């Protein structure tokens, strides 16, 4: 009878997995063309890997985003799936498979019913379903890139570690080590989780008097090192020193001291951007050009090759006169934001974005009822450490706190089991107790159902902007040379254009043109949905065709119309001393100028 109950519970968990996959695929279908920033960066990295160019973004070796997500998307792309849907299928499958390690851990403390209930909660948990860009506030930033993959690997590593300590078999130790390393390769905070998990496993062995199993722990560490070694070697080759990531570095400007800037300054700017509503200092800092104007100052956009870093190619520019369409001239230093929310205030807001406060109370009751409670505290501690350390060292962002979501689902399932048992005893009806998890799951699903109703018609502003980005990208794909490069603020334009991308700096128009010429970019795409870098744009999107010999002198420039559509205006830049058209401009399929004047465009 017990074996039959276990088998039925497992079938139910797998049915929940299938339903979770279908639900997530539906949400991605409703998402349509929408691509968030980091999601677009991952797609461009995947394309670079599949093309054999290496881990490159913005034309340079990339060190900020972790490599596993784009690598897997590149592999899936070999099957014929488009990059975007390869990424989405990976996210849907990983998000659904997260149900399995959650159920394994819940069964450990709350039995078969707890496993099924935690699986159901995980399948419909709002923060784990934020695939639609229509959640209020910061929830649109939660769950769109490497997060589904990371959470699956992190929780699987914890489940494997608990199993390894229980039965001591080599395979579970080695699996825990490999999964921990893969979690680090999915997101940087995975290295914190790996260290915490290793400490928990060794502590559990010591508490049980089984330190004789230490060779297995060493084996797990060795396997994790082997899995992560290629990335460490890549980082050393790109940065010239040993590092776990380049993401924690602040912007480095040419001529600045070589010592890293004070970390708190970058943290203050990001907190002010996320929670204080003051985005300008952070944007000017992250999207600033270096002093030469030839490449970006922040190493987030890539590490210049050593030869280039030693003697960068400079573009001679005329002095640029400040105009209403220009950004403030001092973009090389990070301005101090006016209002900076405190660390604890930011942490509280980020936590409530991920986990509703009522569910946290339910989870705390579930922790108290866990059997044994000390074991639950021990094995869920790595999720808390993996969220607390990045928050305390840098800043509180909802995505960093996502590991709390599966942990809360596990503990809430335990509390739900207690309420279910009480209701069954009072009513004398076993089936009536099933209403408790069903009602909680329905309440958890309400935000997603609300977002689905808004997304179904496809008329929200986010969907319309995404449709416009796709239309512009596909237009450029048809009309630009195959080797043409694009600079834009949002990477989605380059994703749809299937062209090499350079990020658009937040700077004066003349310096943007100089940067584009230094990077070999022929098309600059501006959008009214990004920063207002152009004064009085004629359309929602403006594509500026740039020849290598054009020089911009103050406000003495104009655009010769090439194409004018309701969504997009295309113009060829005419500066103080335009040069003859470049061979790329004369290539078949390239847009040709139709007029010599562009009234209203400066």
Q: What is the 3-state secondary structure (H, E, C) of 40-104?
A: HHHHHHHHHHHCCCCCEECCEECCCCCCHHHHHHHHHHCCCCCHHHHHHHHHHHHHHHCHHHHHH
Q: 74, 534 in Cβ contact below 8 A?
A: no
- Specify the 3-state DSSP secondary structure of 559: strand
The domain boundary, picked from 394, 424, 456, lies at: 456
Strands 485-488 and 523-527, how do they pair?
Answer: parallel
Instruction: State how far the Cα of 522 lies from the Cα of 494, in Å rounded to an integer.
Output: 13
Q: Give the single-character DSSP code of 137.
A: G
Do 6 and 151 fall into the same domain?
yes
Final residue in a domain of this structure, among 413, 441, 456: 456
Is the same domain home to 76 and 173?
yes
> Do 508 and 565 lie in a common domain?
yes
Residue 441 shares a structural domain with residue 482: no
Residue where one domain finishes, among candidates 430, 456, 482: 456
pLDDT of residue 331: 39
More confident residue, 348 or 142: 348
The conformational region for residue 29 under phi > 0 = left, psi -120 to 50 = alpha, else beta, is alpha
3-state DSSP call for residue 322? coil
9 and 109 housed in the same domain: yes
d(CA 411, CA 572): 61
Mean pLDDT within 529-543 = 86
Q: What is the extent of the structural domain holding 497?
A: 305-330+458-602
Give yes or no for residue 584 having a pLDDT over 50.
no
Quote the Cα angle for 236-239-241, to 5°: 55
Contact predicate 73/87, CB 8 Å: yes
Domain count within the chain: 2
What is the distance between the alpha carbons of residues 512 and 552, in angstroms, rounded to a whole number?
A: 10
Mean pLDDT of all residues belonging to the chain = 83
Domain contains 174: yes
Please say if the pLDDT value at position 287 is more than 90.
yes
d(CA 363, CA 121): 12
- Tell me, yes or no, whether 257 lies in a domain: no
Omega within 30 of 0 (cis) for the link into 388:
no
Closest of 594, 73, 127 to residue 359, by C-alpha = 127
- The pLDDT assigned to 578 comes to 46
> How far is the CA of 158 from the CAs of 103, 114, 376, 378, in angstroms?
12, 18, 11, 10
Lowest-pLDDT range of 110-119, 171-180, 262-271: 262-271
8 Å CB contact between 469 and 37? no
Do both 452 and 462 map to the same domain? Answer: no
Q: Residue 261: pLDDT above 70?
A: no
| pLDDT for the residue numbered 144 | 66
**Mean pLDDT of the 88-98 span:** 95
Whether 46 maps to a domain, the answer reads yes
Closest-CA residue to 503 (of 74, 87, 56, 73): 56
127 and 153 inside one domain: yes
The rounded percent of the chain whose pLDDT value lies above 90 is 58
Could you give the C-alpha distances from 569 to 25, 395, 457, 539, 555, in angstroms and in order?
Answer: 35, 40, 28, 6, 20
**With 0-12 CB in 10 A as exposed, 13-18 as middle and 19+ as buried, what is 556?**
middle
Express each pLDDT in 147-178 by its tens digit: 999 999 999 999 999 999 999 999 999 999 99
Q: How many CA atoms lie within 13 A of 441 on its CB side?
A: 17
Higher pLDDT pick, 308 / 358: 358
Q: Residue 219 pLDDT more than 70?
A: yes
Segment among 58-67, 122-131, 335-344 with least mean pLDDT: 335-344
Statement to judge: residues 131 and 219 lie in one domain = yes
Instruction: Select from 25, 159, 20 the least CA-distant residue to 102.
Output: 159
pLDDT of 588 over the 60 cut? no
**Are residues 492 and 349 located together in one domain of the fold?**
no
Token pair belonging to 172: 């579970």
Do 399 and 362 lie in a common domain?
A: yes
Q: Are residues 68 and 215 in the same domain?
A: yes
Same domain, 65 and 164: yes
């Amino acid at each position: 009878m017990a074996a039959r109950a276990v088998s039925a519970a497992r079938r139910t968990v797998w049915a929940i997995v299938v339903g979770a996959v279908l639900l997530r695929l539906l949400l991605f279908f409703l998402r349509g063309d929408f691509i968030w920033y980091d999601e677009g960066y991952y797609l461009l990295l995947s394309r670079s890997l599949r093309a054999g160019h290496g881990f490159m973004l913005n034309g340079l070796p990339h060190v900020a985003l972790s490599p596993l997500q784009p690598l897997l998307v590149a592999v899936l792309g070999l099957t014929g799936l488009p990059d975007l849907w390869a990424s989405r299928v990976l996210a849907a499958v990983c998000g659904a498979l997260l149900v399995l390690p959650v159920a394994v851990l819940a069964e450990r403390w709350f039995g078969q019913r707890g496993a099924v209930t935690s699986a159901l909660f995980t399948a419909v948990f709002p923060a784990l379903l934020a695939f639609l860009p229509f959640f209020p506030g910061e929830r649109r930033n939660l769950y769109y890139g490497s997060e589904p993959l990371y959470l699956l690997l992190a929780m699987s590593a914890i489940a494997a570690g608990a199993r390894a300590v229980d039965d001591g078999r080599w395979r579970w130790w080695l699996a825990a080590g490999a999964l921990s390393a893969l979690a680090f390769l999915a997101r940087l905070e995975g290295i914190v989780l790996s260290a915490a998990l290793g400490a928990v496993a060794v502590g559990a062995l010591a508490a049980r008097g089984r330190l004789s199993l230490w060779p297995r722990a060493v084996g797990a560490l060795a396997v994790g090192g082997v899995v992560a070694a290629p990335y460490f070697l890549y980082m050393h080759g790109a940065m010239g020193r040993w590092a776990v990531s380049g993401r924690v570095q602040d912007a480095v400007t040419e001529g600045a001291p070589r010592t890293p800037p004070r970390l708190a300054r970058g943290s203050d700017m990001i907190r002010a951007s996320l929670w204080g509503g003051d985005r300008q200092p952070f944007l000017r800092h992250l999207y600033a050009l270096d002093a030469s104007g030839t490449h970006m100052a922040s190493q987030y956009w890539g590490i210049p090759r050593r030869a280039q870093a030693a003697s960068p190619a400079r573009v001679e520019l005329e002095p640029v006169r400040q105009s209403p369409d220009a950004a403030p001239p001092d973009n090389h230093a990070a301005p101090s934001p006016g209002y900076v929310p405190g660390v604890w205030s930011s942490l509280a807001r980020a936590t409530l974005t991920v986990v509703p406060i009522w569910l946290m109370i339910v989870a705390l009751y579930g922790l108290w009822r866990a059997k044994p409670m000390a074991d639950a505290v021990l094995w869920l501690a790595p999720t808390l450490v993996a969220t607390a350390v990045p928050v305390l060292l840098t800043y509180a962002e909802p995505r960093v706190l996502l590991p709390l979501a599966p942990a809360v689902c596990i503990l809430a399932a335990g509390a739900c089991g207690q309420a279910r048992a009480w209701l069954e005893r009072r009513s004398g009806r076993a089936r009536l107790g099933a209403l408790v998890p069903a009602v909680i799951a329905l309440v958890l699903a309400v935000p997603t159902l609300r977002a689905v109703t808004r997304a179904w018609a496809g008329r929200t502003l986010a969907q319309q902007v995404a449709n416009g980005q796709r239309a512009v990208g596909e237009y450029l794909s048809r009309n630009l040379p195959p080797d043409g490069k694009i600079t834009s603020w949002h990477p989605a334009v380059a994703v749809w254009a299937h062209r090499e991308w350079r990020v658009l700096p937040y700077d004066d128009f003349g310096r943007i043109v100089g940067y584009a010429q230094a990077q070999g970019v022929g098309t600059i795409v501006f959008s009214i949905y990004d920063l207002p870098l152009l004064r009085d744009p004629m359309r929602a999107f403006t594509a500026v065709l740039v020849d290598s010999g054009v020089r911009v002198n103050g406000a003495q420039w104009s655009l010769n119309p090439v194409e004018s559509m309701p969504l997009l205006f295309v113009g060829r830049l005419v500066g103080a001393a335009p040069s003859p058209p470049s061979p790329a401009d004369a290539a078949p399929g390239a847009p040709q100028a139709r007029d010599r004047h562009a009234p209203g465009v400066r």
